[in-house]
Amino acid sequence: MNKRLHQVAIVLCSLFFTGTCISAQITENFDNITLLAGNGWFLQNNSTPVGSTAWFQGTNVGAGGPFDSFNGAANSYIGANYNNTGTTGTISNWLETPNVTLKNGDVFTFYTRKVSPDSYADRLEVRMSTNGASTNVGTIATDVGDFTNLLLSINPSLVLGVYPVVWTQYTITISGLPAPTSGRLAFRYFVTGAGLSGSNSDYIGIDAFQYTPYVCPTLTVSPSSLPNGTGGVAYNQNLSQTGALGAPAYSVTAGALPPGLSLSGAGVVSGTPTATGTFNFTVTVMDASGCSGSQAYSITIDCPIGGANLSSFPQQCSNGPLYTLVEGTPAGGTYSGTGVTAGQFDPSSGTQTIFYNITDAFGCPQSTSGMITVNTAPTVNQQPFNPVCSYASPVTLSGGSPAGGVYSGSGVSGGQFDPSFGTQTITYTYTDANGCSDNDVQTFTVNAAPTAGLSSSDLSPCVNHGAVTLTGTPAGGTYFGSAALTGNLFNPTTAGVGSHPVSYSYTDGNGCSDTATVTIMVNGCAGIEDVFSNNVQLYPNPADEFISVHFTSVEANMNWKLEIYTIEGKLLLAKEIHIGSADHTEPINISTFTSGTYLIKIQNSTGGSSTRRFIKK
């Protein structure tokens, strides 16, 4: 049968109504669709072109219709058909529910069917608007207005055999809303290629619509209590819930978390507490449908444990200085214990327990203790030193106890003391295996040596002269050095011609001595000096750079020996002179001599000699 022939009852209506948002259950069996507008429903046909029908009261079989209702009176359903548009066109016929508060979990059901057999494809969409009471569906067939959320499409591809030909129930559960919101649901009979002469669209019915708001269950937040925390220590605790629809969101709705902690939307209490004490607060969990449940909590943040620390103390020596204590952390605390005063420890107190106390950043008292070890310092001694004379050789130092220490002081080098530094303080220091040391100080006495002097009544006597008297200072010393000495008398005759060193030694009461030496030049003198006295002259005298020896009326072609001595008898110059004539002058360079008196001795090859004094300026 042609679909156009069995649509005998066609209801024409155009109802426009703006309803009031409700959240109660809605049941609509479409017993009388003229009442829909008064109940908040909204109908609008946006087909292109608009046909002779919109939504109409269903036509039952007894009245010549294609099928009866799902329930109730035979015609108690709402219908739409190919006449919603012209001969050909696009059907877009809207049936909107009353304004409701939409929540995730809300459920609505309805029954729908079409003519059997399925000879022309039909399509029904269910859409949702979250724009409050808005009924905006646009003005043309392709518009959807505020109903952009497609919840269901029955036969979206417009093919045969998909749209049910018997009453079939469809159930839709609202989901994906961020929060409960005001809006509407809408049925859209949407068929392209429709109309009396179109290839699609026939006759559909909708019946037994029911909207059931989601009923909040009891939401329970767990656990029932939270563990205590510790100041400065990371805290982490997961909350959970039962009963929520969709992803739950947690928040603090009363009181406050401990400072430093926060509650994430996912229900994690975390952070690091910055204050101690007990903190009361309420956590509320809300689900995707706006349902909520709460739990009161109390978290006590305890004082940290081990908030004071002591690093190891360095070992001390019992004779060491006051030690400033710096091992406590954090800084700013106080130290106490035996031997501790104003943050310093006196090692003479011996090994002790040191206490460190501080009030931490949370106002909590913190305390710790540690042992400071004091090692007994060694006892050091050194034996007194025997006095020495200032001219003594370096003395090896010894006698320090315990052995193995180090000597120090002026004049000390390599464990020896140089007496030339005079009397000094010698320190002996010994350090044991613990690094503890002690020292002992002794004075090393150095006696100054005396200065001996020796003079002679005649330093160049003739061999036949009488005894020469020697005078030594200081008195009381000893004369020595020549067999010609008898006490302090020197006998030239016994000594014979030549140089004769004689010495005088003096030893003081400390056993320190000194020696002075002079050389006595004994001359032959017997006739020779007198002979030469007129034949040899010295000039100039005193002299500066040169002194000349002038020979007159002497035997020619003879070799002479010339020697110059200090007044003490030290030989400074010796040279041979060849005199080729009876009259000869020999210059002598004395520029390097220091100022003073000198002796010049002239001797010929036969043994005759003469001695003269001259002065170097």
Answer whether residue 18 shows pLDDT above 60: no
| Highest mean pLDDT pick, 16-30, 152-166, 584-598 | 152-166
Q: Are residues 106 and 204 in the same domain?
A: yes
CATH, residue 159: 2.60.120.200
- 206-245 per-position pLDDT tens digit: 999 999 999 989 999 999 999 999 999 999 999 999 999 8
CATH, residue 558: 2.60.40.3080
Closest CA to 258 of 289, 226, 285: 226
The 3-state DSSP class for residue 179 equals coil
- Cα(476)–Cα(236) distance, integer angstroms: 105
* 8 in any annotated domain: no
pLDDT at 526: 41
Sheet with 334-336, strands from edge to edge, namely 334-336, 352-359, 365-372
pLDDT at 582: 82
Q: How confident is the model at residue 534 (pLDDT cuts 50, 70, 90)?
A: low
- Residue range 284-309: mean pLDDT, rounded: 93
Q: Are residues 35 and 149 in the same domain?
A: yes
Q: Are residues 196 and 55 in the same domain?
A: yes
Q: Are residues 157 and 101 in the same domain?
A: yes
Q: Are residues 431 and 560 in the same domain?
A: no
Answer whether residue 11 shows pLDDT above 70: no
- 462-501 per-position pLDDT tens digit: 887 789 999 999 999 999 999 999 999 999 989 988 889 9
Contacts 24+ apart (CB under 8 A), 304-308: 304/230, 304/231, 304/232, 304/233, 304/360, 304/362, 304/364, 304/366, 305/230, 306/366, 306/368, 307/232, 307/358, 307/360, 307/364, 307/366, 308/333, 308/356, 308/357, 308/358, 308/360, 308/366, 308/367, 308/368
CA distances from 616 to 84, 330, 561, 595, 598 (A): 158, 87, 21, 5, 7
Answer whether residue 14 shows pLDDT above 70: no
Answer whether residue 527 shows pLDDT above 80: no
The residues pairing with 107 across neighbouring beta strands, listed in sequence order, are 173, 212
* 2 in any annotated domain: no
Q: Is the peptide bond before 378 cis (omega within 30 degrees of 0)?
A: no
Query: Which residues, 6+ apart, have CB-to-CB distance to 538 below 8 Å?
Result: 547, 548, 549, 550, 600, 612, 614
Sheet with 406-408, strands from edge to edge, namely 406-408, 424-431, 437-444
- Pull the structure tokens for residue 594: 């220091």
Q: Are residues 48 and 186 in the same domain?
A: yes
Mark out the alpha helices in 422-503 (DSSP H runs).
492-495
The residues pairing with 182 across neighbouring beta strands, listed in sequence order, are 101
Q: How many CA within 13 A on the CB side of residue 445?
A: 7
Domain end, chosen from 143, 177, 212, is at 212
- Residue range 372-377: mean pLDDT, rounded: 97
Residues 572, 592 contacting (CB under 8 angstroms)? no
* Domain boundaries, position 59: 26-212
Answer whether residue 15 shows pLDDT above 70: no
Answer whether residue 3 shows pLDDT above 70: no
* 589 in any annotated domain: yes
Q: Which of 22-36, 164-178, 305-319, 348-362 has the lowest mean pLDDT?
A: 22-36
pLDDT at 332: 93
Answer whether residue 8 shows pLDDT above 70: no
- Cα(28)–Cα(31) distance, integer angstroms: 8
Tell me whether residue 321 is exposed, middle or buried, using C-beta atoms within 10 angstroms of its C-beta: 0 to 12, 13 to 18, 19 or more.
Answer: exposed
- The pLDDT mean for the chain works out to 91
Cα pseudo-dihedral 138, 143, 144, 150, rounded to 10: 170
Q: Are residues 152 and 263 in the same domain?
A: no
Backbone angles phi and psi of 63, in degrees to 5 = -95, 10
Residues 70, 208 contacting (CB under 8 angstroms)? yes
Q: Are residues 138 and 230 in the same domain?
A: no
- Residue range 518-537: mean pLDDT, rounded: 65
Closest CA to 10 of 67, 53, 44, 73: 53
* 12 in any annotated domain: no
Residue that has been written with the tokens 């049941």 in this structure: 27
pLDDT at 608: 72
Residue that has been written with the tokens 């010549």 in this structure: 64
- Cα(320)–Cα(376) distance, integer angstroms: 10
- Residue range 136-163: mean pLDDT, rounded: 98
pLDDT at 179: 87
- Residue range 131-138: mean pLDDT, rounded: 97
- In the chain, DSSP finds a helix count (H) and a strand count (E) of 2, 56
- 234-248 per-position pLDDT tens digit: 999 999 999 998 889
- Residue range 135-142: mean pLDDT, rounded: 97
Q: Are residues 427 and 399 in the same domain?
A: yes
Answer whether residue 525 shows pLDDT above 70: no
Q: Are residues 134 and 58 in the same domain?
A: yes
pLDDT at 361: 87
- 547-573 per-position pLDDT tens digit: 998 888 778 888 889 999 987 778 999
pTM to 2 decimals?
0.50
Domain end, chosen from 522, 551, 574, is at 522
Answer whether residue 397 shows pLDDT above 60: yes
Q: How confident is the model at residue 22 (pLDDT cuts 50, 70, 90)?
A: very low
pLDDT at 266: 96
pLDDT at 462: 80
- Residue range 2-15: mean pLDDT, rounded: 30
Domain end, chosen from 398, 427, 447, is at 447
Answer whether residue 581 shows pLDDT above 90: no
Q: Are residues 203 and 85 in the same domain?
A: yes
Closest CA to 220 of 298, 297, 294: 294
The percent of residues in the chain predicted with pLDDT above 90, rounded, is 78
Q: How confident is the model at residue 531 (pLDDT cuts 50, 70, 90)?
A: very low
DSSP character at residue 543: B
- 494-522 per-position pLDDT tens digit: 998 888 999 999 999 999 999 999 999 88
* 5 in any annotated domain: no
Q: Are residues 297 and 419 in the same domain?
A: no
Answer whether residue 309 shows pLDDT above 90: yes
* 1 in any annotated domain: no
* 15 in any annotated domain: no
Number of domain units in the chain: 6
Q: Is the peptide bond before 540 cis (omega within 30 degrees of 0)?
A: yes
Closest CA to 12 of 56, 44, 50, 64: 56
* 560 in any annotated domain: yes
